[in-house]
């Protein structure tokens, strides 16, 4: 199942820099692991925002929910999920 996911990150300004850097490092490692195994198919920055659009290919809604909750930045994100279906004009 394919999903388009928009993630807007809102890290509190009073979070200590050392903690922010640790969270970001763990986020990068986790996301790259999911990209390598094919479940996180692509990730695109939104220009001028601390946000991204990503495409996930997972077996179920529950699997996507579990993966998103595993993101170290999850507590600081607003997430929108859009299920995708193949377009009849796609080649």
Instruction: State which residues form the domain around 15.
Output: 2-84
Q: Per the domain annotation, does 76 fall within a domain?
A: yes
Residue among 59, 48, 44, 50 at smallest CA distance from 3:
59
Residue 91 in any domain: the answer is: no
Give the confidence band of 1 by pLDDT, cuts at 50, 70, 90.
very high
In a domain, 89, yes or no: no
Sheet of 77-84, strands arranged across: 40-45, 51-57, 2-9, 77-84
**pTM of the model as a whole:** 0.92
What is the spatial distance between Cα 77 and Cα 9, in angstroms, rounded to a whole number?
5
CB 56 within 8 A of CB 67: yes
Tokens of 74: 């999850």
Question: How do residues 3-23 score in pLDDT, each as one tens digit?
Answer: 999 999 999 999 999 999 999
> How far is the C-alpha of 23 from the C-alpha of 5, rounded, in Å?
20
The number of distinct structural domains making up the chain is 1
Say which CATH number the domain at 63 has.
Answer: 3.30.70.1060
């Amino acid at each position: 199942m394919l999903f388009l996911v928009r993630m807007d990150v809102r890290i509190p300004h009073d979070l200590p820099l050392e903690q922010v850097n640790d969270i970001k490092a763990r986020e990068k490692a986790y996301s790259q692991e999911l990209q390598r195994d094919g479940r996180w198919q692509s990730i695109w920055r939104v220009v001028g925002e601390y946000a991204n659009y990503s495409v996930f290919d997972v077996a179920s809604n529950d699997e996507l929910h579990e993966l998103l909750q595993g993101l170290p930045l999850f507590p600081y994100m607003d997430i929108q999920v859009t299920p995708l279906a193949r377009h009849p004009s796609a080649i």
